[in-house]
Structure 1
């Protein structure tokens, strides 16, 4: 059991790609929200620096204006570092610089070059939670520099994610967590499947749709449409798939649908850093069928809380769907409660913060 040795003053600096609550930030938004809630519950003092338009009225926000940053997934690996005029990212970090003396630790949630570059110029220690695998050469380089100069300050979710950066230094693996009490267990699902996430090419939604069309099992799709042309192409290519798009839903609305599904399909075409939706699914008692790639491969207990199949194999997804009766849905819920609760999440992050500060 972790015993808090010091109450910390924490400044969380959000992702600059969209307002908190918009869904544009993907899993980073849920991660930030859950860590913030747990740190406050543990009596740490917390402020979140976020884009104007953020809707998290239950958390202490400082809203900063400026133009949003381009999403990293849409850029080429060799793309140069860029920022728009009146950059929101720069404005957020200028604010952090001005108030840094009021805090013990700044926590960076942005997957972007600037916060890493700025680390040596701050007097306040900065913890960097890296939210994706390696995507961009300039960012890879600056992450390696910071990891070497400031050991322990670079945190990852999973080993699979961290391995994409090929760091020489030791680094913390922090996994993730959710408020399991917000997810209702369902022992008797309907004959339907779920897919949840940003609708963008790297998420591989078309494979789940293909599996749905071939098996004729309805697929409930939930998430932000980030690439409209990609979504339109899926609908053209699979006109007979029994799919239903439900939009970007709140946690409560999403889990009401998800818990009634026989399984969640995860079909990433890239190295997923973690996969928050996997643990949300397990919390509902819903097994996860995922490609054996990235974060989900370290979450799912193959054959017990879901199935890991060959990456990019629709046939593998279909074979796993046929075996779902072998999964005990209670085991799924139990894994979520044991490994991915807010307490487990808080213990990991609190320990990381203390180690950075040598407390």
Structure 2
């Protein structure tokens, strides 16, 4: 592909750095790194504290408010104002630099890059990582949707947005199958992700106990109240919290586990942890929710009735008997970062040429 000057807009609050806060930051980090490796001139606009090995320009979370403004009883939380200011500053700056980039790839999940895209002479692609939200729907409804290329991370997410956007392109997320390498498995189960109610790690512990298996959990405690009330009381000899691990440590944990368990109690747009597990040769047991069902198939996973821990316990037992080589094959054929990069390069090139 022709060398492109690509701007990537990331989140303003969460740095693109290890240990990653979640699937979105891991995805943006990998995408940025691979675009650079493929010879593109990339600039990543991201939160302060992002990995300096990446071509990062930090978003300016430095709004200075007067004492009078702070006394306004209608003022929203200050972090909201800093984020608003960061994206407002970025978009106006990009509008002034008309020839700096060939294409802009937006992953921010913030409404301003979409709503203000009409200011830009540069074409923009927005990846939809979430279901429709009120802020994003508002921006799409008033924004120049004909000038914006939208792409979803799963067909499920594309279908959710289709009433507003019509047909939406799909580029499924991918993982580095040279980093997430197959391992021997083990006897323990693994659960990884953010410790938040919608990912429900407490249900993974309950299902593991019903299946008679020890489980190891890893990930950031994004909701300390939930963790203290619903997860910590369930920990013990058969349920261990390993902490917030970097990619190397997490990869070792996943590839030496018998089954990767996922417990979304909402409709996940994709499910990057499942792709990581498959690349590690680790079969999956998960609730059949949202885009997760597009990541796996019957050769490498068992799907459980949503929110039903007894069904999940049965899925765990069945998944433990699956061929680890089939999981790896599924990752190589459907979940690889090379496939994702080929599709994104084609899409970005088409957007520049349009």
- How far residue 43 of structure 1 moved from its aligned partner, in angstroms, is 1.3
Provide the TM-score with structure 1 as the length reference.
0.87
1:311-330 pair list within 5 angstroms: 311-330=306-325
* CA distance 1:299–1:239, shift in 2 (3 Å): closer
1:248 to 244, 249, 257: 244
CA shift at 1:324, angstroms? 2.4
Q: Which residue of 1 aligns with 2:109?
A: 111
- Report how far residue 306 of structure 1 moved: 0.6
Match for residue 44 of structure 2 among 41, 44, 48: 48
Question: Which residue is equivalent to 2:11?
Answer: 15
2:211 matches 1:215: yes
Q: How does 1:1-359 map to 2 (within 5 A)?
A: 4=1, 6-21=2-17, 25-54=21-50, 56-66=51-61, 83-85=80-82, 87-134=85-132, 136-146=133-143, 148-150=145-147, 153-165=149-161, 166-187=163-184, 189-235=185-231, 238=234, 242-301=238-297, 303-358=298-353
Q: Provide closer, same or farther for how the CA distance between residues 128 and 168 of structure 1 changes in structure 2, counting only shifts above 3 A.
A: closer
Report the counterpart of residue 72 of structure 1 in structure 2.
none
The structural deviation recorded for 1:112 is 1.4
Q: Could you tell me how far apart the structure 2 residues matched to 1:208 and 1:258 are?
A: 15
SS in 2 for 1:16: coil
Q: Distance in 2 between matches of 1:141 and 1:310?
A: 34
Deviations 1:61-115 (A, max 9, x none): 11233169xxxxxxxxxx99x9314733334434433444210011111111111
CA offsets 1:294-318 (integer angstroms, 9 cap, x no match): 12110110x2111111111111110
Q: Answer yes or no: is the 8 Å Cα contact 2:128–2:150 preserved in 1.
A: yes
- Offset of residue 253 of structure 1: 0.7
Deviation at 1:141, TM superposition (A): 3.2
Listed as ranges, the gaps of 5+ residues in structure 1 are 69-78
Distance 1:287 1:23 in 2: 24
* Distance of aligned partners of 1:95 and 1:218 in 2 relative to their CA distance in 1, 3 Å threshold: farther
| Alpha-carbon distance in structure 2 between the residues aligned to 1:353 and 1:272 | 25
2: CA distance between counterparts of 1:33 and 1:25? 11
**8 A Cα contact 1:172 1:352, kept in partner:** no
Range that drifts further, 86-95 or 45-54: 86-95
SS at match of 1:106: strand
Of 285-294 and 136-145, deviating more is: 136-145
Distance 1:239 1:22 in 2: 25
TM-score by length of 2: 0.88
After the TM superposition, which of the residue ranges 284-293 and 59-68 deviates more from structure 2? 59-68
Q: Which moved more, 1:230-239 or 1:118-127?
A: 230-239
How far did 1:350 drift? 0.8
Which is worse superposed, 106-115 or 59-68?
59-68
* Number of the residue aligned with 1:76: none
Judged with a 3 Å threshold, the aligned counterparts in structure 2 of structure 1 residues 352 and 211 are, in CA distance, closer, same or farther, namely same
Does the 8 A contact of 1:305 with 1:327 survive in 2? Answer: yes
CA contact (8 A) 1:105 1:124 kept: yes
The alignment yields a C-alpha RMSD, in angstroms, of 2.3
Equivalenced residue count is 339
Cα pair distance change 1:219/1:326, threshold 3 Å: closer
